[in-house]
Amino acid sequence: MPPPPANWVAAAVQITPHFETQGDPYQGVSGDFDGMGISCGALQWNIGKNSLQPMVVAVGRPVVLAAMPTIGAQMWTACTGGIGSGLTIVRSWQTGTRLRATPLAELRALMGTPQMRAEQDKRISGKAQTAFDRATAWAKEDGGAAPTKRLFCWFFDIVTQNGSLEGLTPAKMRAFIAASAPGKADDVICDFMAGIKGTSGHATDAAKNAALWRNQTDAEKLPILCMTYLRSKTADPRWQHVVINRKGTIAMGQGWVNGSKFSLAAQGL
């Protein structure tokens, strides 16, 4: 399978990390909001899943110590021991789930080194190829057309965040569209989003997205929005609307995620 276009990969790297982090995605760093200790870099590799440790080991101790003069030795210990001890170390750098100023700055510095950028690129390339292969296979099964940039970016988010389609197929997606009243598949989804109860930011985002997306689909956007809805139904019901907020924004090219409005026009969506 050929590699995805470089500008598609660049767009995906701008989109997926920015739902959680701001600025240079390669230097994105967040604290223990999800139980993973710290999450770093474009795809938020972390301690809890042992995805960050191999990258730190690969760049080597001298690079870590140079980029992190205050906590570099602790970082190296956290990444060369067990996951449990690593979590204990990186949590000691935080107040609650928020990294204090020095650890935050030094982690960003490490992730921005040429060596760590190269490690990130290696892993991004692998995820992007998987996403492109899956998007190509989906498009072929769904009528034989080549995948679009939007479809690729959607699959990139799936591959990096969720892993798989959980049994979703083009036939199931088309059946959902056909089962809805003519031209009303997006209304089914928007009605679901508008009906989310609660006062959380995610629920507020869902209501805003229902209003923003209704009657705004086209021949490319509608299938991907329906894919989003059907894939979300495999998630814990408590988080179904959260999945739709995120992946629906990719499908529609704009949307509310984590309390912020995103426009993906600059990424070609």
Do 172 and 109 share a structural domain?
Answer: no
In a domain? residue 114: yes
pLDDT at 247: 98
Do 184 and 111 share a structural domain?
Answer: no
In a domain? residue 254: yes
Bin 31: left if φ > 0, else alpha if -120 < ψ < 50, else beta.
beta
In a domain? residue 88: yes
pLDDT at 144: 80
Do 100 and 17 share a structural domain?
Answer: yes
In a domain? residue 208: yes
Q: From 162, 148, 163, select the one nearest 5 (Cα to Cα).
A: 148
Contact between 111 and 120 (Cβ < 8 Å): yes
In a domain? residue 156: no
Do 180 and 102 share a structural domain?
Answer: no
Do 113 and 186 share a structural domain?
Answer: no
Instruction: Give the single-character DSSP code of 77.
Output: H
DSSP letter string over 143-200?
TSPPPPHHHHHHHHHHHHHT-S-TT--HHHHHHHHHHSSTT-HHHHHHHHHHT--SSS
pLDDT at 219: 94
Domain count for the chain = 2
Do 169 and 115 share a structural domain?
Answer: no
Do 105 and 12 share a structural domain?
Answer: yes
In a domain? residue 136: no
In a domain? residue 252: yes
Query: Range of 180's domain?
Result: 165-267
In a domain? residue 58: yes
Do 174 and 101 share a structural domain?
Answer: no
Mean pLDDT by runs of 10 across the 269 residues of the chain is 95 92 91 95 96 99 99 99 98 97 98 98 97 98 94 97 90 96 91 94 97 96 98 92 98 97 97
Of 119, 154, 189, the position where a domain reaches its end is 119
Do 193 and 258 share a structural domain?
Answer: yes
Q: Burial level of 141, CB count in 10 A (0-12/13-18/19+)?
A: exposed
Do 262 and 182 share a structural domain?
Answer: yes
